[in-house]
Amino acid sequence: MKNTQIKGVVACIIIVIISIIITIIAMDNSYYGMAFLGIFSSLSSFIILFLFIGRAKCMAKMLNGSDVIATWQYTERDTINNIKKIKEENKGLFVMAIPVFSLVIIIVALTVGVASEKIGVGFIISIIVIVLNILSFKMYMATEIKEINFNIKVTDLKKSYVYISTSGIYAHGILSVWKGWGSKLMVVHYDRINKALGLTYSYISPFGFARYTINVNIPEDKLYLLDNIRDKFLAYWQE
């Protein structure tokens, strides 16, 4: 099992470097609109880079055992059923609409700012949109809208693993973190009838604080882990 967040760290670093290069070239050639877009991209990616670094550290501690409360692996049949369930739960979500919309806003703002020779106006609006995009990205990481496109056929084993730590949970190929960046664990609920564990946490979104719940079914042969999970999350525990 590899740390799935490393790719995000590397991607952000590449985007930051490319954006800085574009900004420098644009400034040298007095392309201020392009320069502002470069600044917007580099600053947003730089901040999101630290979010990915935090997520990568959280998952690294899960994998090396330094911060893991419980871990198990589903059978292939259970993995497929979980993927189908998550796909259905996420149907109809459009959280990526906000970053796209804010990109349109920033292009319009910069065009107007440069055209009116009030570059400061475009810069201020750019900063506002940067913050909006970062919050949108935080919401995206909480809901993992890309999982709508789950392939029902299990092509890798990572979606069968579950790791629960004090900082987050990795389940069904998704990492959810409830420490840092305004996130906080709210409720840990166990349904004894369905043998399902639900972890609800809050996070900052463009609309304020929102909540997201991760549900995992505990296999029969792993029910002995329930006592340790309850002890670690006693302050949030509900049955």
pTM given for the model: 0.69
The per-residue pLDDT for 47 is 82
Q: Is the pLDDT at 181 greater than 50, yes or no? A: yes
Contact 200, 40 (CB under 8 A): no
pLDDT in tens, 61-100: 999 989 999 999 888 777 777 766 666 555 544 444 555 5
Are the beta carbons of 205 and 138 closer than 8 angstroms? Answer: yes
6 vs 127: CA distance, rounded Å? 27
Is residue 13 pLDDT above 70, yes or no? yes
Q: What is the pLDDT of residues 18-73, one digit of tens each?
A: 888 888 887 887 777 677 777 877 887 888 888 889 889 999 999 998 999 999 98
Give Cα 39 to chain centroid, integer Å.
Answer: 23
| Whole-number Å distance between alpha carbons of 93 and 144 | 10
Burial 149-168 (b: 16+ CB within 10 A, else e): ebeeebeeeebbbbbbbebb
Domain ranges of the chain: 6-238
- Confidence (pLDDT) at 195: 84
CA distances for 205 relative to 103, 106, 131, angstroms: 17, 19, 11
pLDDT, position 149: 47
Tell me, what's the pLDDT at 105?
Answer: 60
Confidence of residue 188 (pLDDT cuts 50, 70, 90): very high
